[in-house]
Amino acid sequence: MTHQFFVPESAMAIVAHPDDIEFGCVGTLARWARAGARICYVLCTSGDVGIADTSITRQEAAEIREKESLEAARIAGVSDVVFLHEPDGLLQATLELRKKLVREIRRFKPEVVLCNDPTVLFPSDDYINHPDHRAAGQAALDAVFPAAGQPHLFQELEKEGLQAFKPCKVYVMSWSNGAESVSIDETIDIKVAALRAHKSQMKEWDPEEDIRKWAAERAKGKEMAYAETFRVIVLVNEEECLEKKRAH
At 41-96, the pLDDT tens digits run: 999 999 999 998 999 999 999 999 999 999 999 999 999 999 999 999 999 999 99
Domain tally for the chain? 1
> What per-residue confidence (pLDDT) applies to 241?
83
**DSSP conformation letters of 75-138:** HHT--EEEEEEEPTT-----HHHHHHHHHHHHHH--SEEEE--TT-S-SBTTB---HHHHHHHH
> What per-residue confidence (pLDDT) applies to 248?
63
Burial 136-172 (b: 16+ CB within 10 A, else e): bbbbbbbbbbebbbeeeebeebeeeebebbbbbbbbb
Q: How far apart (Å, rounded) are the C-alpha atoms in residues 153 and 143?
A: 11
> What per-residue confidence (pLDDT) applies to 2?
44
Note whether residue 183 is domain-resident.
Answer: yes
Closest CA to 85 of 157, 17, 13, 143: 17
Q: How far apart (Å, rounded) are the C-alpha atoms in residues 112 and 107?
A: 14
> What per-residue confidence (pLDDT) applies to 175?
76
Closest CA to 76 of 18, 116, 32: 32
Note whether residue 5 is domain-resident.
Answer: no
Note whether residue 213 is domain-resident.
Answer: yes
Note whether residue 181 is domain-resident.
Answer: yes
Range of the domain at 156: 10-247
Note whether residue 153 is domain-resident.
Answer: yes
Note whether residue 145 is domain-resident.
Answer: yes
Q: What is the CATH number of the domain that holds 240?
A: 3.40.50.10320
Note whether residue 1 is domain-resident.
Answer: no
Q: Is 231 helix (H, G, I), strand (E, B) or coil?
A: strand
Note whether residue 97 is domain-resident.
Answer: yes
> What per-residue confidence (pLDDT) applies to 4?
57
Extract the residue ranges of the chain whose pLDDT is less than 50: 1-3
